[in-house]
Structure 1
């Protein structure tokens, strides 16, 4: 049985491990954090959203980014400090504007397929993750925003999504808790929400029960190959120092989020993954009035670039913003405050005296499409760069990659040593 090392235990890495176990491989997962799902998969917006498949490669995104550069609380914030990685990424981002329509439709199709994959896994493995299947409602305040959304909707529908326009009265009917004056919206009844951290940890436990070996506190430092791969990694020692350990494998799968760029470089591959920071707050709905005032339908406010999810009865997740500021994980009050203010404005009955802020780094490729497939070196594979749709897409990309690996390295035969 071939041994495959998966680097990364976020949603994509754990989903990949599961798909490989199902295909008959021996799997070892290396994760630099102490537990699974402790970086970008910890507290995202919670949406499983095929309706959010529109890629960002559009001139309107560039114009907004330039216009908002002086606003510290802007939905899209660009640190203008020079960085070769950032500006090379932006150049490739703009080069892919011509593929905006094609990539949006392709992402929608992939998201729809992934959604069913994930639902099937959760049901089969009995994973509880506060799943709420009440759809996602996009809201727009003016005709211009709504008209642009109508054009996007044509692409999403072409990709196979069941999504339709609604007026102000229908918005109130779909989610009575939502307050505000809206021109209209679009509703996707088949989309849903849940707790990505709970799901990823639940799936990791299933993988361990099926024989996968997870090694935590393991930072990969070097990957070499002769007949097989030798992966060197550091482990935190009980004395407070660190020790270097090694393991051998027949193949390596990189699912390391924003760290994929440096690990890919070890393997001779260029992955132009950029860390785009997003923020979230988790509101403790500790009183009955707050619980009654929080929505169950997921909301996406296109103007504010904010999304919501209801995580069971006691928690409400509000997330959004995009910040181009390198690998910076600082939680800034001026970026968190708009999420709190937005919650108070649109859901005034919610008490926001117990709010947990968080910031994570989305691993984004310049074309907004995940990197899934083979590397230059035989036995190297990638499933990374999913950007703002990591949870939505990971089940499908993992299943697809497992097929690619099965064609290259049959599960019933071990590579020659």
Structure 2
């Protein structure tokens, strides 16, 4: 059977491996970390959110970004230092503003489709990932932001999403722990939350039981054509030469690193690493567990999302354009802690674990899924802030593309 090498053991790489193995391919997954799901698939906001499918390419987003320039604690932060990749990416991002409606509707449909695929995988393999199917509640603090959201809501509904407006009283009925005032909200009952790390690790174990090989601590230094297939050169532990692995086909699921691999394979995949932060608040006492919300929230003004993951309260947000930088900055983490204390004062923040990850974003906010220029090259990457939401569906699209071009023998 054809041998497929998947680069990346995050959520997209592991879901791709699972679906391809189920269809009869010989699959190996390569990742530079010691275990699967140790980078962007480690501690994201937790939302499986079709309600967050509106792409960012809009004049309103650009204007907000300009207003936030110079604020170190702003929801969106741009390092002004010149980088050709960053500024050319931003220019292409703005050129996609006319496609806002089309791409939002397409992303919504894909997110809705992804849900059942993910639930089916979890049920088939017995994966416990702190799933909460209580919906997602978006809250707005003023009439202007709510009216702007209403226009976006029409696009989500056109994409097939059940999502409706709620009053402040209805919002508190949906989530009684929400005590602070809001102007209004939108509620999506079919959305959910879960721990991306637990799911990805559980699905990776299922893949291994099915015969998928995971090659960890594997820094792929180069991919090159080799006869009818491809050779993967792995860097040695000292940075020098390492092993060479052969495959008939390559699938790039390498998150923010996908751009580098695509260039080696003759393709242009314009992905920029947009940093996001989260904190995991450990609910170590009964009053904290009682005070923390169960329904997932999105605060539009602060651009903060929350998820209840068992005895942890995940609070995430911010978008930082600062290159391939994984420094955890105190001034970016503190707003997440402050927001938690302000809205849920009964939650103790004595044990808070900060994290950051690089969202792999394309200028049009759409994932790159399908074949490359060369035979046997495929991509499933560039999901941005919706990798957790979309990956179970894009794995199916990838497998269909592979099946059209690379039949199991």
TM-score normalised according to structure 2 size: 0.99
- The residue number in structure 1 matching 2:145 is 145
1:136 is the counterpart of 2:133? no
- The residue number in structure 2 matching 1:356 is 353
Aligned partner of 2:393 among 391, 396, 399: 396
Question: By how many angstroms is 1:55 displaced?
Answer: 0.2
1:16 is the counterpart of 2:16? yes
1: CA distance, partners of 2:324 / 2:30:
21
1:303 is the counterpart of 2:301? yes
1: CA distance, partners of 2:228 / 2:351:
55
Question: By how many angstroms is 1:243 displaced?
Answer: 4.8
- The residue number in structure 1 matching 2:280 is 282
| 3-state SS, counterpart of residue 218 of structure 1 | coil
1: CA distance, partners of 2:305 / 2:224:
42
Question: By how many angstroms is 1:2 displaced?
Answer: 0.5
1: CA distance, partners of 2:218 / 2:69:
38
Question: By how many angstroms is 1:65 displaced?
Answer: 1.1
Do the aligned partners of residues 241 and 150 (structure 1) sit closer, same or farther apart at CA in structure 2, a change above 3 Å counting?
A: closer
1:48 is the counterpart of 2:48? yes
The question of whether the paired residues in 2 share the 8 Å contact of 1:69 and 1:79 is answered with no
- The residue number in structure 1 matching 2:316 is 319
1: CA distance, partners of 2:41 / 2:181:
33
The question of whether the paired residues in 2 share the 8 Å contact of 1:217 and 1:235 is answered with no
2: CA distance, partners of 1:360 / 1:210:
30
1:386 is the counterpart of 2:387? no
Matches of residues 131-210 of structure 1 in structure 2 within 5 Å?
131-210=131-210
- The residue number in structure 2 matching 1:37 is 37
- The residue number in structure 1 matching 2:242 is 244
Question: By how many angstroms is 1:241 displaced?
Answer: 6.5
| 3-state SS, counterpart of residue 214 of structure 2 | strand
TM-score normalised according to structure 1 size: 0.97
2: CA distance, partners of 1:339 / 1:364:
22
2: CA distance, partners of 1:310 / 1:242:
44
The question of whether the paired residues in 2 share the 8 Å contact of 1:310 and 1:316 is answered with yes
Give CA-to-partner distance per residue, 1:274-325, whole Å, 9 cap, x none.
000000000010011100000000000011000000001x110000000000
Question: By how many angstroms is 1:61 displaced?
Answer: 1.0
Runs of at least 5 residues in structure 1 that lack an aligned partner in the other structure: none
Question: By how many angstroms is 1:222 displaced?
Answer: 1.4
1: CA distance, partners of 2:197 / 2:264:
29
Question: By how many angstroms is 1:109 displaced?
Answer: 0.2
- The residue number in structure 2 matching 1:227 is 228
1:405 is the counterpart of 2:402? yes
- The residue number in structure 1 matching 2:372 is 375
2: CA distance, partners of 1:402 / 1:41:
21
1:94 is the counterpart of 2:94? yes
2: CA distance, partners of 1:308 / 1:323:
19
- The residue number in structure 2 matching 1:65 is 65
Do the aligned partners of residues 241 and 151 (structure 1) sit closer, same or farther apart at CA in structure 2, a change above 3 Å counting?
A: closer
Question: By how many angstroms is 1:242 displaced?
Answer: 5.5
1: CA distance, partners of 2:317 / 2:353:
14
Matches of residues 102-113 of structure 1 in structure 2 within 5 Å?
102-113=102-113
| 3-state SS, counterpart of residue 45 of structure 1 | coil
Runs of at least 5 residues in structure 2 that lack an aligned partner in the other structure: none
Do the aligned partners of residues 145 and 241 (structure 1) sit closer, same or farther apart at CA in structure 2, a change above 3 Å counting?
A: closer
Question: By how many angstroms is 1:233 displaced?
Answer: 1.0
Give CA-to-partner distance per residue, 1:33-57, whole Å, 9 cap, x none.
1110010000000000000000000
